[in-house]
């Protein structure tokens, strides 16, 4: 036992993992978010909650929607096949063209609609109860925890090489895991790196290892590479059968990969397959947006924000800010000011971040956070456009 348990540890190892777009669960997230995009493109106020299951040459969609009748089961099947094709699955056990697609999508419950829709003087309520978190820190330029940041970027670099044809022996399914050493509370080096990547049957383990190595070296800061004996590539020795043919996938099973790699809390809900009226998604984005702006404004080195909601109620029940002992302002004051800068009702979040747009399929792999804001509004929650307002409010 430490003599003073109130003092945070400063020297330790911390590990995060990532999974690629071809991981079975991520295939499902991609399909479900492609469905969300299709509905929002056709009708910005559409309601969508669609889950996907994949296994050997089978794709199953289920859920509830409220949107245009022009999006038929045949259209949803086409969306699913196109998503799988874009990921790159053309294998005997899972092929975008040959997989059987089943669609069990029905109209949204009238009871849920009654509780969350705006009516008369009642603003639109939250679609469910729940807690959501956001986090930011100064460990990386993206204000993300370093282990998940580098784990994502290793897989993204490998995926880009696969899609471009630079590495034709790689297949879509892959995972990474990065362990970093922290000294004085700051990451200084990797102590181990694990990469498992699906590959052609004619590649040996040693060949795959040397294919992967330069991408890891490219992503990690100079001098951070782990010792050779702690560099694990396909530790089982062979990874030919993968994707949904090797393991069943489901929407929403990689929520820690989607957020902060375990370096910060996660609420109860997943993101993918949900339109932005669902606070599981939109409020988590809002919390990241606020936390990132607090850190970008140099008001703290680390910031965690929690909000909570009740179904059918528009205002959040609570707003909590924890800067982990790094705050340069009163956290209670931040709890008061942040909701004044951003309306944290479901409608307020959507309007501020302009979330009623088809911008979600791109979020399904390599993390919802730590990405660059895009011209069409994608990753709007990564903007740091509140910095000046925050500074003025606290002056």
Confidence of residue 5 (pLDDT cuts 50, 70, 90): very low
- Predicted confidence (pLDDT) at residue 257 exceeds the cutoff of 60: yes
**pLDDT for the residue numbered 1:** 37
Rg (CA), the chain: 22
Helices of type H across the chain: 24-42, 73-87, 110-116, 146-164, 205-219, 243-246, 255-258, 279-296, 331-341, 346-353, 387-394
| 335-343 average pLDDT score | 97
For helices 331-341 and 279-296, give the axis angle rounded to 10 degrees: 120
Per-residue model confidence as pLDDT tens digits over 26-43: 999 999 999 999 999 999
**pLDDT for the residue numbered 81:** 98
- Predicted confidence (pLDDT) at residue 3 exceeds the cutoff of 50: no
Q: Which residues are annotated as a binding site for Mg(2+)?
A: 25
Q: Which residues are annotated as a binding site for L-methionine?
A: 64, 108, 247, 278
Q: Which residues are annotated as a binding site?
A: 23, 25, 51, 64, 108, 173-175, 238-239, 247, 253-254, 270, 274, 278
Q: Which residues are annotated as a binding site for K(+)?
A: 51
**pLDDT for the residue numbered 108:** 81
| 291-310 average pLDDT score | 97
Contact (CB, 8 A) for 187 and 180: yes
Per-residue model confidence as pLDDT tens digits over 49-59: 999 999 999 99
Q: What is the mean pLDDT of the chain?
A: 94
What sign has the CA pseudo-torsion 363, 376, 345, 36?
negative
**pLDDT for the residue numbered 4:** 46
Confidence of residue 6 (pLDDT cuts 50, 70, 90): very low
Q: Which residues are annotated as a binding site for ATP?
A: 23, 173-175, 238-239, 247, 253-254, 270, 274
**pLDDT for the residue numbered 123:** 61
CB neighbourhood size of 37 (10 A) = 20
Per-residue model confidence as pLDDT tens digits over 268-286: 799 999 999 999 999 999 9
Contact (CB, 8 A) for 376 and 359: yes
**pLDDT for the residue numbered 94:** 98
Q: Among 1-5, 105-109, 184-188, 219-223, name the one with the lowest average pLDDT.
A: 1-5
Phi-psi region of 219 (alpha: psi -120 to 50; beta: other; left: phi over 0): alpha
| DSSP, residue by residue, 258-310 | HTTTTSS---S---TTB-TTSHHHHHHHHHHHHHHHHHHTTS-SEEEEEEEE-
Q: For residue 351, what is the DSSP state?
A: H
Per-residue model confidence as pLDDT tens digits over 302-324: 999 999 999 889 999 999 999 99
Contact (CB, 8 A) for 177 and 193: yes
**pLDDT for the residue numbered 287:** 98
How far apart, in whole angstroms, are the C-alpha atoms of residue 327 and residue 173? Answer: 41
Give the N- to C-terminal CA distance of the chain in Å, as an integer: 42
Contact (CB, 8 A) for 22 and 85: no
**pLDDT for the residue numbered 354:** 98
**pLDDT for the residue numbered 7:** 53
Confidence of residue 70 (pLDDT cuts 50, 70, 90): very high
- Predicted confidence (pLDDT) at residue 2 exceeds the cutoff of 70: no
Q: Among 125-129, 198-202, 221-225, 256-260, name the one with the lowest average pLDDT.
A: 125-129
**pLDDT for the residue numbered 127:** 77
Confidence of residue 395 (pLDDT cuts 50, 70, 90): confident
Task: Catalogue all structural domains in the chain, each as residue range(s) with its CATH number.
Answer: 12-19+146-240 (3.30.300.10), 130-138+279-394 (3.30.300.10)
Of residues 227, 223, 218, the one with CA closest to residue 166: 218
């Amino acid at each position: 036992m430490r003599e003073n348990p109130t003092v945070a540890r400063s020297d330790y190892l911390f590990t995060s993992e990532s999974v690629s777009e071809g991981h079975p669960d991520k295939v499902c997230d991609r399909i479900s978010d492609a469905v969300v995009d299709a509905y929002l493109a056709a009708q910005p106020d559409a309601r969508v909650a669609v889950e996907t299951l994949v296994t050997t040459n089978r794709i199953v969609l289920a859920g509830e929607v409220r949107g245009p009748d022009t999006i038929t089961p045949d259209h949803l099947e086409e969306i699913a096949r196109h998503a799988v094709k874009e990921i790159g699955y053309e294998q005997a056990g899972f092929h975008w063209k040959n997989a059987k697609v089943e669609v069990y999508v029905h109209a949204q419950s009238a009871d849920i609609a009654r509780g969350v829709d705006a009516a008369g003087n009642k603003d639109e309520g939250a679609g469910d109860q729940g807690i959501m978190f956001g986090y930011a820190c100064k460990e990386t330029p993206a204000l993300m925890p370093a282990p998940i940041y580098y784990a994502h970027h290793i897989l993204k670099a490998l995926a880009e090489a696969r899609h471009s044809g630079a590495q034709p022996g790689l297949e879509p399914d892959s995972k990474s895991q990065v362990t970093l050493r922290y000294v004085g509370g700051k990451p200084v080096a990797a102590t181990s790196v694990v990469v498992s990547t699906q590959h052609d049957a004619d590649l040996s383990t040693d060949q795959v290892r040397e294919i992967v190595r330069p991408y890891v070296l490219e992503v990690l800061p100079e001098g951070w590479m782990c010792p050779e004996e702690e560099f694990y590539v396909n530790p089982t020795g062979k990874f030919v059968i993968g994707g949904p043919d090797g393991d069943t996938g489901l929407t929403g099973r990689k929520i820690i990969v989607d957020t902060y790699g375990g370096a910060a809390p996660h609420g109860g809900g997943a993101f993918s397959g949900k339109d932005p009226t669902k606070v599981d998604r939109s409020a988590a984005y809002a919390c990241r947006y606020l936390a990132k702006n607090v850190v970008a404004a140099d008001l703290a080195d680390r910031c965690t924000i929690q909000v909570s909601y009740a179904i059918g109620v528009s205002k959040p029940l609570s707003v909590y800010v924890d800067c982990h002992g790094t705050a340069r302002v009163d956290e209670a004051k931040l709890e008061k000011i942040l909701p004044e800068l951003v309306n944290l009702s479901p409608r307020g979040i959507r309007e501020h971040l302009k979330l009623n747009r088809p911008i979600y399929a791109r979020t399904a792999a390599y993390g919802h956070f730590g990405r660059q804001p895009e011209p069409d509004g994608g990753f709007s929650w990564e903007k740091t456009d509140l910095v000046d307002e925050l500074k003025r409010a606290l002056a």
